[in-house]
Structure 1
Amino acid sequence: MPASPSRLTAARLRPYLGECGYGPGLIEANLRLAQHSPAALVAFAHAPFDSRSACIAVIDGFTDPLQDAVACRPLGAPVILVCFPDRLQWWTQGTTRTELRESVPASQIGQFFEQRRKWFAPEAIYRAKTLGRFDKNFQLEFVDLGLMPLVEAEAGRTLERIVERAVLGTKSRLGWRDVSLEQGHWLLKSNFWLLAAKILRDKGVPAFAGVNLEDLDQVYHRLAKHYGAAAPVEVGTKQKREALRESARQLSQVSPLRLVSTEALAYLYENALITRETRAELATHSTPTYLVDYVIGKLRPWIEEIETERRRVFEPACGHAAFLLAAMRLLGELLPSQMSTPGSRHRYLRERLWGCDIDSFALEIARLCLTLADVPNPNGWGLRGQDMFAGHVLADGAREAAIVLSNPPFTNFSRAERSGLAAAQAEAQRVNKAAEMLWRIVTNLQPGAVFGVILPQGLLHSQDARTLREFLAKDFEIAEICLFPDKVFTFSDAESVAVLGRRLRAGRRATRPIKYRRIREVDVERFKQAYEVTNEVEVSPSRFCPENGWDFLVPDLEEVWEFCRRHIKFRDVADIGQGLIFRSRNDPLFPRKGIAQADRRQKGFLKGFARLRETLETHGLPDTCWLNLHPSVIRRPVRGTTTGIPQLLLNYAPVSRGPWRLKAFMDRKGHPVTSRFLVIRPK
């Protein structure tokens, strides 16, 4: 270790960082995130330099070290070192707090770094940030697992505000009120290309060094060349040019975007760049970064077993290429040292990643993301604008790939889509698009190839996907089935499931237990931060068999169901049914001045139960009201009009979204009840 400096500064810590594993090519000096933020010496795990790869930030302390350390949070580095002439302060960056961990005299700096060399190593901090969320072996006590996702989301929101301000400003300057689809696309694309040029300039890409954003023709020409786009953005009229120049002027004043990660761009795509019409038409639901990281992380052990030259990745319905980006990072990490030079890495990855989508604007985001992840190289990635169901796109992609990753549309084929595919001799065999995609993929994968897909939960048990599940059960090893609630996707309410599998060699059967995990709505945030699940069980592959229709759905609290299976059924000893159903007031048969129920006593009405209070506990009874049992106001009596017989009442609608959804109440007097209750009476 170098000798301890007599007067400590951030610059003098560079040799100590080098001893921890940060070579000259991994350290950036004088890095500022905003005009008034402290200049930082930042050590990265590897290229590309962004908030995901940032490990340690070193700054000079002047007045308030806490304020300076907090200002470094957008860097994404969990370790902040603040230098004073006579001492070093080690601060840790967290999701909610920035804390002083240790203060070290300048004379003991060498010993400080020597003792923490393994902790501070690039691969140690990077793995703690990325892999620590699902593998405790990589966790470090001073690395907050929720920091990286939080920083990326904050960066995404910043980009969202920038783009929205630019688009709305351009629209206002043009005097446009009602915007056509074509105008909306032009507004988004023209301003997004300006943002892309700024990001590439801020990241030091040579082709954009010193570029003037207000020189629209030059900016769009350079970007088209860098992207490999067919043509640059067409500026159009003089009025449009002036409107865009003002956007460019404002964008030039935005703080440097040097550390923007591709994951932040994914947030931007989902929240600002995709129109409501496109989302509805293409059934788009952008894959959250935390879910992408989870799938890739869980598949990592299998991917490591695949020979380096065979690691080819295919992402159908790639959108903004979230899975391709994560796979790029992983494949780059797994390269042997002789292939990890920038040139070799670049060539290797270009030959092994490709995706397709029918959304042309999503592919633009994908090109930018892949280009940013491969700075400073220009675009050349295998992104194709095509319908994955046309021709042999999926079959060919699956045969060539050893790794298939996808979050396909969850919707069913429309009649027009089915007719179009049939006419093109690519007839869909299934009703659901996700089921059709996965069928075409898995039937063409080679032995040893792996897949990780996000699907609608209905495919676990639907008749439409039965033969698909049978094929998976017979020919694949399933590592995990992980169920998610709705609201996982920003603009979709679909309940989803992640399925991870690997194709077996002919004649072999899966024997390892399958991890069956479930995340309830209340636990989504815990899953996002640390991949903690609501519950987890292991199931034998043999349970998926013809006897249960190849059903992949494992019920919550299955041990309770199995215990109850050995006992007599309710139907053997009790009569069960819904409470009475009143006629609607809009029903022509409803009496003109009729009353179905009342809070106060009415002549001829009986005291009963009409609704269930959310806070009611099972040792009590629902609030009583007065019910009219005259046949003229009742559409169906069902089990609700019988009185005087002791009964057990259950809520008809679930009281929660968890496994415990029914409350039981003992009604010893036998009141009449409405359809909001289930009635259980002894036979």
Structure 2
Amino acid sequence: MNYSVQALRSSLRDLGYQSSDIHPQFRFAAMDLPERPVRQVDAAAFVDGGPASYRTAALGIVRATGDATAREAVEASSSLGAPYLVVIGTDDATMWTYTASGATQVARVDVDDWQNLLLDKSRLGPQPVRQLKALQLRDDGPSTPLLFDPRTLYAIQANTQQALDEMLTGFLSHFDGERVSAGQLSMGVHYELLLPLVFRLLAGKILLDRDDPRIGGIDTADPREVVTQVESLYSLPAQRLQWTKARVAQLTRAWQDLRDGLYVRNVAADDLAFVYESTLITPDTRKAYGTHSTPYSAADYVVRSLRLPQGGNAAKLRVYEPFAGACVFLTAALRRFKELLPANWSTLDVHSHLVSHFGASEIDPFACEIARLALILADYPNHNGWQITREDLFLDGRLAERVRQCDVLLCNPPFEDFREPINALSIHKPVALLDAIIETPPAYVGVVLPSGLSSQKVYRAHLARICEIYGDVEVLQLPEGIFRHATIGAEVLIAQSRRDEDTRQSGTDLETTIRKSVVRRTDWLRFTRTLQTSASDVARVNPRISPGLVGLRPLRHLWDYLAGSPTLGDVADLHRGIEWKNPNDVSRSKPTAGFRRGVHLLADSLQQFEVKKTVYIDVRPDNLRWTAIKFPWGSPKLIANAARASRGPWRLLATVDTSGLVASQQFYGIWLRDAAGLDISLIQLCAVLNSPLANAYSFVHDNERRLRKETLQKLPLPPARMPREIDSLVAEYVAACEGDDGPLFSSRPKSATELLMEIDALVLKAYDLPPRLERELLRFMGDGPRPTRAPFGGYPGTREGDAALPLHKQLAMSRSDIKAALKVLAQPLPASVADVFDLA
């Protein structure tokens, strides 16, 4: 068998790979294992003519050693990132690929014929592999099923970035203020010195692990020599740092940990840039400029959702990132354009083009420096040249001018309002950006905007205009808590297929494809590993008739069906509870003069159908704001939350109060009108507010933490008379929650969970929904968490393939099935069976 380095090179060159892109005995870190051990393949081929990484890996060849099976060899080499791996065994040679479900064998030959596996240039050559790995989320052309799943690369990316984050965190721990001694460097004090220093040593680490000859000839154990060499290579200003003995010793220890740590040869440079960005801005700077670090996966989703042209047409596009921070969007765009630009361009040609067609603006001078360094990292091994302009885009019409000059606009603007009005600009910074986009629309737009973009009134007119200007509009809803150093959520506007001015003015051919995609908090990890959203809805609408994204509101067919129903505002008055001038010490656990029994804090006070805890709250006139105390708190009413109970769809909780409780502003008091014209009791109305339909309505129409009164007033009520049985079921439910002894010892015929399900079923029966819409609603609500004392595990009959039966019929069928089973069990056993038991 001719299996040698020369034979490997020859086979890979015959497939079209350049000698410089073929690496014998290629080593890489196994990022899928906690220890990140270094693996090796006998040969690996890469595309794009640049540095080897898992993003550019095309093909690997490895021997199955010892007792390892071919599959084990493939799984051990997954972090290489190559779509195809040839395993040379004792008796046979096999070719494998990676699918969403794992390693998959695609071909097998006798071991002597291993080179026959490497003959298909149309599948294994550089250009087919380049196209195979270039994930494009929005491809409307004819689709060809592919065995290799390019999304598997995102699992490698997630593992890689986690490993890099741990490596960088370990390095920075040497400069933790609690660990450093006098005279040493501290992140808290020397922040603006250390981060550029981190870049220089990270760059040195890359050069070392990649065996780059440009780092040769120096003492790589001395961090000062490494820093000086990197500054020379990238024409960076020298670090103005006094190298005292204590600092040299400190930095040497930190550099040794970095140098000898994670092996980064196969790491994509933009991953290093992303992790470096995570240390970008101090909390004070973020607060001052309203900046929020963009998750890399969100930026990548935006860039790969754009149907950008290829080849020479891609080379015409000018890409711009205002409010750049560390240029996360430009970093994602850099990688995408390297896939799109002409394949015959050299790496130097690509670099020269990108630095002349990519630009960014940032107000903070230190952030400008960090952004430039991050782009240098992402563009290894090329030189500097990136255009990061320090400027305040909200002055002198600069924002509109910059937007006018670009073809692709990508950014995460500050969310905060201006402290003082600026001429001709909206007081809301995101709105000011939308104004600039509408004035001179770029061909492609991807901008992160505050949560509420698709629902709040302040954005309504702008979304309507965006949908007229662009033929393809998507809003991606991101969950709270995924932005570093911030708890906010966000919605990302992605717009493309720009119409010309004549088409917009004539009003012809104005049909727009609009998309609403959602990433739930529970699916965030999956999104980072696959770029797959939790849910997505698409519609074609005429924006002149259906402005904005109203047509894509979740469960929209349900809300259309209920459009003529009575509403909560038709039958009840809603008022928020009392507020205080001084909110400190406004509740007591015991009766106190000037205090009345009531509910104060949402988390402590309510769950569905029940008051959990009461306190005595301050009602002294001198400390009250407004006049909420004058509402009829002593009358029978509902108390409901005025801020969501959870981030999920189960967000409403209400209970009936006949004891005269007062409530703080964290609650609504809801009083039925005497002459409302709808025959409904307080208990029945309470069941409606706690129902899946009311909770879904609030979740869809109220994206903020605060539950808006005007939204609750529009909540549709059942058009049919509510069953009186609900009143007794609610009473049974509360009693079961208070006194249920468990399934084995309870004397009650039904558990609290069963009673809760029956209440929901009767409420939905009163709405008289088509079974299809009811099942869609119950599937949307999922399985919790629901703010009830009774455990809740979701609704039956919501899986794919289940019959669309109303919930009350499913429950009735379940009860009849149980009765039939009990009837059978009560019958005496046949004599032949009874004899068997007697003999046992």
Map 1:78-477 → 2, pairs under 5 A: 78-90=83-95, 104-110=109-115, 112-113=117-118, 120-131=124-135, 135=139, 137=143, 140-143=146-149, 145=151, 147-169=152-174, 172=179, 175=182, 179=186, 182-203=189-210, 205-216=212-223, 218-229=225-236, 231-239=237-245, 240-301=247-308, 303-304=309-310, 307-337=313-343, 340-391=345-396, 393-415=398-420, 427=423, 429-445=425-441, 449-460=443-454, 468-469=462-463, 471-477=465-471
User: Which residue in 1 is equivalent to 2:776?
Assistant: none
Q: 1:660 to 1:678 in 2, by over 3 A?
A: farther
Partner of 2:707: none
1:272-311 deviation digits (Å, cap 9, x = unpaired): 454333333333322222212211122124x459934531
Instruction: After TM superposition, give the deviation of residue 429 of structure 1 in Å.
Output: 0.9
Give the direction of change, closer, same or farther, for the CA distance of 1:334–1:493 in structure 2 (3 Å limit). same
Whether 2:57 is the aligned partner of 1:54: answer yes
Query: 1:138–1:493: structure 2 CA closer, same or farther, 3 Å change rule?
Result: farther
User: In structure 1, how many angstroms separate the alpha carbons of the residues matched to 2:468 and 2:576?
Assistant: 46
* 1:501 Cα deviation from its structure 2 partner: 2.6
Aligned to 2:765: none
CA deviation vs aligned residue, 1:246-292 (integer Å, no higher than 9, x gap): 43344332343222223422442343454333333333322222212
Distance in 1, matches of 2:413 and 2:488, equals 12
Q: Which residue of 2 aligns with 1:534?
A: 535
Q: In structure 1, the residue corresponding to 2:285 is in which secondary structure?
A: helix
1:345-403 Cα distance to aligned partner (Å, 9 max, x none):
33322321111223444444443443344443311122223333344543443233211
Question: Residue 254 of structure 1: SS of its match in structure 2?
Answer: coil
**Residue 821 of structure 2 corresponds to which residue in structure 1?**
none
Question: What is the aligned length?
Answer: 636
Question: What is the alpha-carbon distance in structure 1 between the residues aligned to residue 105 and residue 660 of structure 2?
Answer: 65
Distance 1:180 1:519, change over 3 A: closer
Gap change, CA 1:319 and 1:650, over 3 Å in 2: closer
Q: Are the equivalent residues in 1 in contact too, given 2:292–2:484 (CA < 8 A)?
A: yes
Larger Rg: 2
- SS of the residue aligned with 2:307? helix
Query: CA–CA distance in 1 between the matches of 2:288 and 2:556?
Result: 39
Distance 1:342 1:551 in 2: 42
Q: Deviations over 1:303-354 (max 9, x none)?
A: 45993453111111222222223323333333335x5233433332232111
Q: Which residue of 2 aligns with 1:604?
A: none
Partner of 2:726: none
Contact 2:451 2:489 in 1 (8 A): yes
Aligned mates of 1:467, 1:392 — CA distance in 2? 22
- Equivalence for 2:785: none
Aligned mates of 1:305, 1:118 — CA distance in 2: 20
Q: Deviations over 1:603-645 (max 9, x none)?
A: xxxxxxx9554xx7xxxx547999999x9999848576445xx
What letter matches 1:497 in structure 2? E
Q: Do the aligned residues in 2 keep the contact of 1:198 with 1:252 (CA within 8 Å)?
A: yes
How far, CA to CA, are the matches of 1:375 and 1:642 in structure 2? 72
Q: Which residue of 1 aligns with 2:592?
A: 591
CA distance in structure 2 between the aligned counterparts of 1:594 and 1:464, rounded to whole angstroms: 40
Task: Identify the range of structure 1 (85-94 vs 160-169) with the bigger mean alpha-carbon deviation.
Answer: 85-94
Task: State the Cα RMSD in Å.
Answer: 4.4
- Are the equivalent residues in 1 in contact too, given 2:139–2:307 (CA < 8 A)? no
> What is the TM-score with the length of structure 1 in the denominator?
0.78
2:586 counterpart SS class: coil
Partners of 1:313 and 1:532 in 2: CA distance: 26
Q: Distance in 2 between matches of 1:480 and 1:579?
A: 35
Q: Which has the higher contact order (CA 8 A, sep 6+)?
A: 1
Post-superposition Cα deviations, 1:565-585, rounded to whole Å, max 9, x if no partner, equal 22333444x225469889997
Q: Post-superposition shift, 1:185? A: 2.2
| 1:31 equivalent in alignment to 2:26 | yes
Q: What's 2:838 paired with?
A: none
CA deviation after TM superposition for structure 1 residue 52, in Å = 1.8
Tell me the secondary structure at the aligned position of residue 351 of structure 1: helix
Please say if 1:500 is aligned against 2:494.
Answer: yes
**SS of the residue 2:425 aligns to:** coil
Q: Mind listing any 5+ residue stretches in structure 1 that lack a counterpart?
A: 1-5, 599-609
Q: Secondary structure at the match of 1:565?
A: coil
Residue 695 of structure 2 corresponds to none
Instruction: Give the TM-score taking structure 2 as reference length.
Output: 0.65
SS at match of 1:161: helix
User: What stretches of structure 2 of length at least 5 have no aligned partner?
Assistant: 30-36, 505-509, 677-840
Distance 1:476 1:670 in 2: 55
Deviates further, 580-589 or 404-413: 580-589
Letter of the structure 2 residue corresponding to residue 556 of structure 1: P
* Secondary structure, counterpart of 2:40 in structure 1: coil
Supply the distance in 1 between the matched residues of 2:650 and 2:192 (Cα, whole angstroms). Answer: 47
Residue matched to 2:564: 566
Matched, 1:575 2:579: no
- SS of 1:41's equivalent? strand
Deviation at 1:188, TM superposition (A): 2.9
Question: What is the rounded CA distance, in whole Å, between the counterparts of 1:471 and 1:16 in structure 2?
Answer: 56
CA distance in 2, matches of 1:244, 1:624: 56
1:606 maps to which residue? none
* Amino acid corresponding to residue 561 of structure 2 in structure 1: F
TM-aligned CA distance change 1:624 to 1:29, over 3 Å: closer
Contact preservation (8 Å) 2:576, 2:668: yes
Cα distance in 2 between the residues matched to 1:305 and 1:500? 23
Q: Separation in 2 of the partners of 1:210 and 1:428? A: 58
What amino acid is aligned across from residue 524 of structure 2 in structure 1? Answer: V
Alignment check: 8 A CA contact 2:272 2:378 kept:
no
Secondary structure of 1:37's counterpart equals strand
Cα deviations by residue, 1:65-100 (Å, 9 ceiling, x for unpaired): 566545434433354433234323555557896677
Q: Is the 8 A contact 1:124 1:138 kept in 2?
A: no
8 Å Cα contact 1:483/1:497 also seen in 2: yes
Q: Mapping of 1:652-671 within 5 angstroms?
A: 654-659=644-649, 661-662=651-652
In 2, Cα distance between the equivalents of 1:390 and 1:351? 25
CA distance in 1, matches of 2:596, 2:275: 54
Contact in 1 for aligned 2:312/2:342 (Cα 8 Å) = no
- 2: distance between equivalents of 1:649 and 1:212? 72
Distance 1:132-1:450 versus aligned 2 partners, 3 A rule: closer
Amino acid at match of 1:275: T
Q: 1:671 to 1:470 in 2, by over 3 A?
A: same
2:77 corresponds in structure 1 to 72
